[in-house]
Amino acid sequence: MDTRTLGTQGLDVSQLGLGCMGMSQAFGPRPPREEMITFLRAAVERGVILFDTAEVYGPFHNEELVGDALLPVRDHVVIATKFGFRFDDNGKQTGVTSRPEDIRAAVDGSLRRLRTEAIDLLYQHRVDPNVPIEDVAGTVKELIEAGKVHHFGMSEAGVGTIRRAHAVQPVTALQSEYSLFWREPEDEILPALQELGIGFVPFSPLGRGLLTGQVTAATEFGEGDIRATLPRFERDALQANLALVELITHVAERRQASVGQVALAWLLAQKPWIVPIPGTRRLERLDENLGSANLDLTPEDLAELDQASAGVQIQGERYPEAMQKMIDR
């Protein structure tokens, strides 16, 4: 697989990364650990370099899984993880925190669980409104100088916050949601990232499965599946949002590709510094996703997809109200 460069600090990664959250939470029962270790190593064999995890996934389980799986190939992969949540004594997430002492403790815990001497890309998972972003960036800068971190990233941050952080410590990548299903970053985020030389790592590039073509109006989301709690996937909203999938399907059929491949190829065509991280835990779905890197959409294809996306008014918020409030814009 070809590589792309995130930011101006020279972080080279595969065109597509792998989002690892679903191996520990959010999409139903947790798969067997050994099965996921085999899966992660198969992804490396297929050319995936960038692996995305976080201390809150599990919590903690996902970093341990990724660390164990990638230990034999640690020198050949890029591991991204995140800090920014507070936990109680039982490991339950209780809010956000980016106090310098909490960042340092989180990094030490992540290094231990990931079984590595340095984190390649460290994201602030959510902006903490109670801590000046300059203090956050300054703390990460110190961790970079100490050799514990190589690159600084942010997630779900607004343009003003990004600029302030970047002035203290160059930001290598921003991670936020972006897809044919959710194009808000195009208004302000993408122009600012281009100006500042910051890479973009879209999560949920397949709209949490909607853009795979596998979700229908009759789909039932089981226990432990986050989509059962998301306004976008409530029955009426889902029915309306599937109109976008139908329009993308026209392009997919013409190009003899899957809906998901078209959606990922569209993202790759937007900017050369965009690196989507679709999440999956099935080998056949991974192979399908990676196939999108070989799908070159024509200007006519892209225009049709843009028209399709503009013509469908997406129904439902991204998150329930409490989670929506954590997004910094």
The catalytic site residues sit at 57
Cβ contacts of 17 within 8 Å, gap of 6 or more = 48, 49, 50, 51, 52, 78, 80, 201, 275, 276, 277
Structural contact between residues 293 and 17, judged by C-beta atoms closer than 8 angstroms? no
- Supply 196's token pair: 């500042």
Please tell me the distance from the alpha carbon of residue 208 to that of residue 69, in angstroms, as a whole number.
Answer: 24
The type of residue at 122 is L
